[in-house]
Amino acid sequence: MRKFLRRAAALLLVLGMAILAMVGYTFSRLPDTFLVAEGQTLTIAPMPWVRAADQSEIARQASAVPAGGSYNTTLALWGVIPVKTVRTVVVDRRVVAVCGMPFGIKMFSDGALVVGFSDIRSVSGYCNPAREAGLEMGDWILSVNGARITGNDDLRKAIQESGPDPCTVVYSRDGVQAVTTFTPVTDVSDGSFRAGVWVRDSSAGVGTLTFVDNTTGMFAGLGHSISDVDTGESIALRSGEIVPVEIIGYEAGRVGDPGQLKGRFASQIAVGTVLGNDATGVYGTVRTLLGGQDMTVAQAQEVEEGPARILTTIEGSEPKWYQVEIEQVTLSRQDPNRNLVLRVTDPGLLAATGGIVQGMSGSPIVQNGRLVGAVTHVLVNDPTRGYGIFAETMLEMADQLAEQKMAG
């Protein structure tokens, strides 16, 4: 009997530890807030073992709380073991025009991005005032001696005006402003004053347009920010515009080489204005109707593992549908660019590009007739697979920028 009790106690201990581990795992993967359509209860498709602890109370609140309101929901394992209480925000279903077409992005930065250093040959030997002052690759130079710096010309002018006198430099690093001082030196090769720093103030590239919200006139694309090719730093936006693009070819992806779409600007006439270069994508307003297919935007918890489609363009300017499989859904917003893991299953796309290539970022992901997300990155060691962001996340940022535009 004692042996049986010891075994039973050990089994209960193991079971208890397993449940605690399950609770901890589930808690870490659940966000603090969910958006739910008016009249619907919270159901978490990628985590079917999690549901509301009090189904009848949640059903009552779901039917009583209008769009714009919210209520708390206690989520539990199998509806029994409490895990986390989350805020449930009631919203209207949103419909956007799903695009999938390529577009060109021209951006001008707010400040001058440090992309390199070059030693100056002065009368006393080689030196580099900027680097000696503590500036690093990826820093944004914002002002010199109180003069705002918006690009190369501003920086060059400020250094020449300072001459041999010290320059007070305000710069930003990782979002934190700091101040340093350097003294320009005379370059013996041409007699000009220099600081030994290379900067960049603009960027251009090709991506895929995810959607246009015709009710606000906002577009969203890319699913991640535009970053400088040398430093990896996101471009601090001063102004920007989007133009039509035609895809003229592609390099297929291989293991270790993600490949890329090759595009050319089909026109210099801007079709939209860039308002934001955010970690979740590029956003702005359109100046003309860009087309697209109207679709409902899915809430994050409605996305599930299984078949889906992406809309992308690998030739010309007309997007086509391709089959993919959503292999993993992560509800936590710690890394919004990697909420989805998808694998290309379409034979035609695999034969052509090998899977996902650079330039497909922003390609809409559709499941069960709803826009669920956008492609963000390719897995370098497996071009058939890539990451995606929730469409809900991109729509939230588009709404924020639309509100800021109206307020400003």
What is the set of active-site residues? 224, 346, 361
Distance CA(216)–CA(208), nearest Å, equals 20
Distances (CA, A) of 361 to 127, 290, 374, 395: 42, 18, 7, 16
Distance CA(312)–CA(206), nearest Å, equals 13
DSSP bridge partners of 366: 309, 371
| Residues 335 and 368: beta-carbon distance below 8 Å | no
Element (H, E) at 384: strand 382-390
- What is the per-residue burial (b if ≥16 Cβ within 10 Å, else e) of 287-303? eeebebeebbbbbbbbb
Distance CA(236)–CA(227), nearest Å, equals 9
* Residue 105 three-state SS: strand
Beta strands 370-379 and 293-297, pairing class: parallel
Alpha helices in 35-147 (DSSP H): 55-64, 129-132
| Residues 305 and 326: beta-carbon distance below 8 Å | yes
